[in-house]
Amino acid sequence: MQGERTPIVSGNWKMNNNHFEAIQCVQKLAYLLQKDDFDAVDVTIHPPFTDLRSMQTLIDADQLRIKLGAQNCHHEEKGAFTGEVSPLFLAKLGVQYVIVGHSERRELFGETDDFVARKVVAVQKHGMTPILCVGETLAEREAGLTLDKVKTQIRAALAKRTAEQVKSMVIAYEPIWAIGTGKNASPQDAQEVIAAIREEVASLISRPAAQAVRIQYGGSVKAGTIAEIMRMPDIDGVLVGGASLDPTEFARIVQYRRHAV
């Protein structure tokens, strides 16, 4: 955590946990986390769409400080877009954070930089916070194209945003080769790319926006690796996939300050 930026730990469940399993998972997580944890760290969970209503009800009824997130949305509010989910409807369900441009959406479902940019605008229009994902493939990394790739993604996604809008966003650097593979970018490698992203925001938008925007690392984060990641000066949190499905492991990730060496 750096300066004024509140750390943010996010659990992206991807296509896992039906709404019964989701309730159990969040109840257990809420039991494991303490007031101190929520005072120090923003905690968001991103269940599948079909779980959101159950999650909203649970969070409201038990007054949980876990923040509700979605994994995606469309950029239009309504209309003939069969199978898509409106950002307006997500906001009505108490969703506060929306992952936008996850590499699985970009690589498996053909989402372009332009499409992702529209979603960023739509999410903010409805008062929610986008978690904008960027990251390179293994081939791009090996060809020395990592920074070119992430800077291009950042430029496209932020083109229509003001400094104030960028300040309140979250960016997640998720190298595609580190997702679900057990391979981490080293904390130093992640720091280097994330520092470059911050510089890109400074030159594109403004220095204060670059200092305020929170940037997460994502890719095979575990309880055993989080403390070292969070010691990096530009890394403000993590976006966790597999390890967020186990409430005990995810709680230990949120509580990284307690087991920091």
The residues binding ligand 13P (CB under 6 A) are 12, 102, 174, 179-180, 218-221, 239-243
Which residue number has the CB closest to ligand 13P?
A: 241
Q: State the DSSP string of 136-194.
A: --HHHHHTT-HHHHHHHHHHHHHTT--HHHHHT-EEEE--GGGSSSSPPPPHHHHHHHH
The catalytic position among 75, 102, 136, 200 is 102
Instruction: Compare residues 55 and 239 and give the one whose CB is closer to ligand 13P.
Output: 239
The amino acid at residue 212 is A
Q: Please, what is the minimum distance in Å from the beta carbon of residue 219 to ligand 13P?
A: 5
Q: Please, what is the minimum distance in Å from the beta carbon of residue 260 to ligand 13P?
A: 20
19 carries an active-site annotation: no
84 carries an active-site annotation: no
Instruction: Compare residues 197 and 205 and give the one whose CB is closer to ligand 13P.
Output: 197
Instruction: Compare residues 180 and 233 and give the one whose CB is closer to ligand 13P.
Output: 180
Q: What angle do CA 149, 152, 154 make, to 5 degrees?
A: 110
Strand segments, DSSP code E, in the chain are 8-12, 42-46, 67-70, 97-100, 129-134, 170-173, 214-218, 237-240
Q: Please, what is the minimum distance in Å from the beta carbon of residue 157 to ligand 13P?
A: 16
Residue found under tokens 């903010």: 124
Q: Please, what is the minimum distance in Å from the beta carbon of residue 14 to ligand 13P?
A: 7
Instruction: Compare residues 187 and 242 and give the one whose CB is closer to ligand 13P.
Output: 242
Alpha-carbon dihedral sign for residues 2, 155, 72, 242: negative
CA distance 192 to 51: 36
Q: Which residues are catalytic?
A: 102, 174
